[in-house]
A and B are shown apart, each in its own frame.
Chain A
Amino acid sequence: GQQVMQIPQYQHVQEGEDFTTYCNSSTTLSNIQWYKQRPGGHPVFLIQLVKSGEVKKQKRLTFQFGEAKKNSSLHITATQTTDVGTYFCADPNTGGFKTIFGAGTRLFVKA
């Protein structure tokens, strides 16, 4: 079935370093969503991208949707310990009324 692939699976960074996670689809996506799950917590919806080439920012987080709408990225500038968690991309359309989640990228930040 349709999947969205995320890389890397894990990322260890020193506090202050940048971090990027990538999401790829074999088919064209209508929209792409991003969620964050803190350790021991539940996923929280961050943002949805809709347009080809769209770039949105939330403080130190920058979200991009590829021109072909087959890939997306989340970039965090100058990571902080509060950024620790798992970041999931999600396809809300292809699954027929159900969102398909990527496997997630788990971010570890060393102070």
Chain B
Amino acid sequence: GESVGLHLPTLSVQEGDNSIINCAYSNSASDYFIWYKQESGKGPQFIIDIRSNMDKRQGQRVTVLLNKTVKHLSLQIAATQPGDSAVYFCAELNISNFGNEKLTFGTGTRLTIIP
């Protein structure tokens, strides 16, 4: 079946250190993945995406890695800042029963940056 899961529900990182958030997916046919960030009291915010024809994509202080062999996705945040404290979700592209594209989300990892 289709499922997107996260290895760890919580992660604490010292300010200035790098953090890695992991995500496993089960739909080997999925060819598009997104990471979202959700701060307290706010809706999810797009961070970065990656297509299955890529292994790595970099943004500003963030890098997403895709390992299709083991169906694993990770989000690396460099030089973490207090504003990085949030819940991070991965999501993958699936096809709904109506034949439409839809996102399947993971449960999320809560990242806490320790000052």
A binds B: no
Which B residues form the contact surface with A (CB < 8 A)? none
